[in-house]
Amino acid sequence: MKYAYENGFKTSVSIEPFLDYNPKTLVTVLLLYVTESIWLGPMNYIPKNSIPYEDKQQYTEIRKKYETNHLKEIFDDLKDFPKIKFKDSMTIRLGIP
């Protein structure tokens, strides 16, 4: 990213799915090197059935990142960053046009 940015290339990033609980730190770092946009979106499919017992806790933790209330917090936190764009998979879940 930095190399492309410093050598005059247009740069953009897609963070879909975001994997951090709060992607703001990553977004803040990337903004230094983005000329176009940063697309942000949730994981679209997280299995609920046929998960091995030893993996159930991990899947529960993953789902917490993408609960509607948490997505709304992320949206509210980042919506005023001019280069941030939200994927339809996020805005539709939040009922945002």
Instruction: Flag whether pLDDT at 85 surpasses 90.
Output: yes
Q: Is 17 within a domain?
A: yes
Q: Is 52 within a domain?
A: yes
Q: Is 97 within a domain?
A: no
Q: Is 96 within a domain?
A: no
- Write the pLDDT tens digit of every residue in 64-79: 999 999 999 999 999 9
Instruction: Flag whether pLDDT at 27 surpasses 90.
Output: yes
Question: Residue 55 belongs to what domain range?
Answer: 2-88
Q: Which residues pair with 86 in a beta bridge?
A: 40
Which residues neighbour 40 within 8 Å (Cβ) at sequence distance 6 or greater? Answer: 15, 16, 18, 23, 27, 74, 78, 84, 85, 86, 87, 90
- The answer to whether 86 and 33 are in contact (CB under 8 A) is no
User: How many domains in the chain?
Assistant: 1
Q: Of all residues in the chain, what percent carry a pLDDT higher than 70?
A: 100
Q: Is 95 within a domain?
A: no
Q: Is 94 within a domain?
A: no
Q: Give the residue carrying structure tokens 């897609």.
A: 14
- The answer to whether 87 and 39 are in contact (CB under 8 A) is yes
Q: Is 74 within a domain?
A: yes
Q: Of all residues in the chain, what percent carry a pLDDT higher than 90?
A: 94
Tell me the pTM: 0.88
- pLDDT for 97: 85
- Write the pLDDT tens digit of every residue in 51-68: 999 999 999 999 999 999
- pLDDT-derived band at 48, boundaries 50, 70, 90: confident
